[in-house]
């Protein structure tokens, strides 16, 4: 399995976009990765935009970047809730600072702007937040997936196949001899 031995953090918060959580979850799991749902509180149940629940296996206060190879941040309205949590922002910033894979789709770009990690990077996002990405110093592009070093961004659910392929490829490259 391509991602055997890799551990990926997947952020969750209320009003997440269902497909942007569950598609990457099962795709990374299928590739052999260990996925951990991280929310503001361990054991808390977070509802999606359409009431599909997910339980946080780990709270952000106990999450340590040393435990993870990558972070996936889904969209929906959840990123607006996540960025109100200083610890979640610090985790994103620390993962990026350590050169680990940080992958964000749709409105998750808000987390990247709040963590101040798009400055000088090529990025994409849902078109409604393109201005936010540009104002944070990112070079915004209207493409299904954009990878700039360890940062991987996509626009919307239709881009999930390319988004997940790019995450897997980036993690495989880190495993190559």
Question: What structural domains and CATH numbers belong to the chain?
Answer: 7-175 (3.40.50.880)
In this structure, the strands spanning 145-148 and 151-154 are antiparallel
- In which residue ranges of the chain is pLDDT below 50? none
Q: Residue 177: its pLDDT value, please?
A: 65
Q: Any residues with CB less than 8 A from the CB of 30 and at least 6 apart, and which?
A: none
Active-site residue, selected from the candidate residues 31, 106, 115, 151: 106
Q: What is the pLDDT of residues 78-103, one digit of tens each?
A: 999 999 999 999 999 999 999 999 99
Q: Residue 174: its pLDDT value, please?
A: 87
Distance CA 73, CA 79 (A): 8
Q: What is the pLDDT of residues 48-73, one digit of tens each?
A: 988 889 999 999 999 999 999 999 99
Active-site residue, selected from the candidate residues 6, 93, 100, 107: 107
Q: Residue 145: its pLDDT value, please?
A: 98
Query: Which residues sit opposite 140 in a β-bridge?
Result: 123
Q: Residue 129: its pLDDT value, please?
A: 98
In the chain, which residue ranges form alpha helices assigned H by DSSP?
18-30, 78-82, 86-97, 109-114, 130-135, 160-175
Distance CA 84, CA 92 (A): 13
**Active-site residue 107, yes or no?**
yes
Distance CA 45, CA 39 (A): 9
């Amino acid at each position: 399995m391509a991602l055997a031995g890799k551990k990926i953090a997947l952020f969750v918060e209320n009003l997440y976009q269902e497909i942007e959580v569950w598609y990457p979850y099962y795709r990374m799991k299928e590739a052999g990765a260990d996925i951990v749902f991280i929310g503001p509180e361990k054991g808390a149940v977070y509802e999606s935009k359409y009431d599909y629940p997910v339980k946080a296996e780990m709270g952000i206060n106990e999450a340590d970047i040393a435990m993870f190879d990558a972070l996936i941040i889904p969209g929906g309205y959840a990123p607006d809730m996540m960025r109100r949590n200083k610890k979640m922002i610090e985790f994103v910033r620390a993962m990026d600072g350590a050169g680990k894979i940080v992958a964000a789709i749709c409105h998750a770009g808000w987390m990247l702007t709040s963590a101040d990690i798009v400055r000088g990077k090529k990025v994409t996002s849902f078109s409604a937040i393109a201005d936010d990405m540009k104002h944070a110093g990112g070079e915004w592009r209207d493409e299904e997936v954009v990878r700039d070093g360890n940062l991987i961004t996509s626009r919307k659910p239709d881009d999930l196949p390319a988004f997940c392929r790019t995450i897997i490829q980036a993690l495989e490259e880190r495993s190559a001899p």
